[in-house]
Amino acid sequence: MLAFTQFVATLSAALFTGAAVYVNLVEHPARLSCGTKVAATEFGPSYKRAAVLQASLSFVSFVAGVAAWRLGGDVRWLVGAVLIGLAIPYTLVVVKPTNDQLLDPARNPTSVETHMLLQRWGWLHGVRSVLSLAATILYLYLLV
């Protein structure tokens, strides 16, 4: 059971990291390159789909990492679990206010403020990428 929880923690963290890094390096820059109006319009549907995927992966990795530690794994499994798990409260406390502003139906999709919010969102999302990458690297190290 320990090996299974370690595998699940690592796999879900790696999938989360891949998705998060893809958003930061590919999707969000491409979105911004289309102009503020298109970027703001595309943000909503993209965010809603990605939120379900990334929240699920973060939660699964967190639970599996804690389980790996509780089943006799090194305490560093708990550290990795906390790193990937931090993505959830960080999103709810730090990123959500920006998300809410971007998703406001009354927002002017062509305004300078909207453009600045989109840029800010990219930086805020980058923190999620870094947290998940750190967790994934730690999990992989522990597996090897």
Do the Cβ atoms of 36 and 107 come closer than 8 Å? Answer: no
The whole-angstrom separation of Cα 134 and Cα 138 is 6
Domain range spanning residue 25?
A: 2-143
Residue with tokens 């805020």: 124
The whole-angstrom separation of Cα 120 and Cα 118 is 5
Do the Cβ atoms of 122 and 99 come closer than 8 Å? Answer: no
Number of domains the chain contains: 1
pLDDT digits (tens, 9 = 90+) for 105-138: 999 999 999 999 999 999 999 999 999 999 999 9
Q: Which of 42, 48, 55, 52 is nearest to 118 (CA)?
A: 42
pLDDT digits (tens, 9 = 90+) for 58-95: 999 999 999 999 999 999 999 999 999 999 999 999 99
Do the Cβ atoms of 143 and 10 come closer than 8 Å? Answer: yes
What pLDDT shows up at residue 9? 98
The whole-angstrom separation of Cα 5 and Cα 12 is 11
The pTM for the full model equals 0.94
CA distance readout (Å), 130 to 30, 134, 140: 20, 6, 15
